[in-house]
Amino acid sequence: MRIRSRLLCGALVLVAAVLPACGTGSSSTSSPSGKLAVVAAEDFWGSIARQLGGDRVTVTSLVANPDTDPHDYEPTPGDGRALAAARYVITNGIGYDPWTDKALNANPVAGRTVLKVGDLVGLKAGDNPHRWYSPGDVEHVITRITADYQKLKPADAAYFTQQHDAFETIALAQYKATIADIKAKYAGVPVGASESIFAPMADALGLRLVTPASFLTAISEGTDPTAADKSIVDRQVASKTIKVFVFNSQNSTPDVQRLVDAARANAVPVSTVTETLSPVGATFQAWQTRQLEALEAALAAAPRP
């Protein structure tokens, strides 16, 4: 996995020095405002956590720059301090953000709750980590965050139920409708992708992702695809076997850029996704819906047999 576990020892030492009260046996606390202090390793989970928590939580997202490739992210001492002070932490797991484990282990806090998405959905390192592109897994996360909030702040349990219901029925309405619409119109359509980030969403949409899995994994993990896989994806573009090519603009390697250029030259529509929220400050649902609507437009523009 391309994400680096490069949290420097110096950073951990600095965290420990700044927050000596957060050592083993101490109790984590809410923010000074009395709100539940929440840290999400990545902003896509942070956006969901913030909306579910409303005005009863404060949420800090650590990876939140759309110009940053999360696979190459290097945590800062400030990230370590935020994790050490949080009462509730959300990490992706599945080998995607192992630096969070190091930071949390360096500052154990009694009473802190950690949600690791990979554990929640039964996946481990080596499986596809991009679970925020799986609508089903997103639903599991929404349910768990709400339940955890209610346990951590039981006096606000009814409020968190209201937040959950509004998020599901109002905030996510267009996201869910667009997924359903694409599936109804384009199930079975063959598409290509630059890496494995799109695979969970392709499954949910009923699209037939024909790019070799080994090619998708290689690009995701920052390794070179095999010559055989490159030949296959080149043929898929040149022959228009794929109707749309989806690529992660935050990981545009020379191989990926070559495929994007070839797709456009061959009149194969190209659709873009990103790993983190774009633009900065977008909500999870606005970001995902915009990408889904662009994909639907690309599918509509694809030449028919």
3-state DSSP percent of the chain in helix, strand and coil, to 5: 55, 15, 30
Contacts (Cβ under 8 Å, ≥6 apart) of 247: 193, 194, 195, 256, 259, 260, 270, 271, 272, 273
Spell out, as residue ranges, where the chain has pLDDT lower than 70: 1-32, 68-72, 305
Q: What span, in angstroms and rounded, lies between the C-alpha atoms of 107 and 246?
A: 40
Reported pTM: 0.89
Segment holding 91, helix H or strand E: strand 88-91
DSSP letter for 195, please.
Answer: S
In the chain the domains, ranked by start, together with CATH numbers, are 9-171 (3.40.50.1980), 174-301 (3.40.50.1980)
Residue 72, pLDDT score: 65
Q: In what order do the strands lie in the sheet with 88-91?
A: 57-63, 36-42, 88-91, 113-116
- Diameter of the chain by CA atoms? 66
Return the closest-CA partner of residue 200 out of 284, 138, 285, 257: 138
Residue 19, pLDDT score: 31
Q: What is the per-residue pLDDT across 289-304, written as a single tens digit (0 to 9) for each?
A: 999 999 999 999 997 7
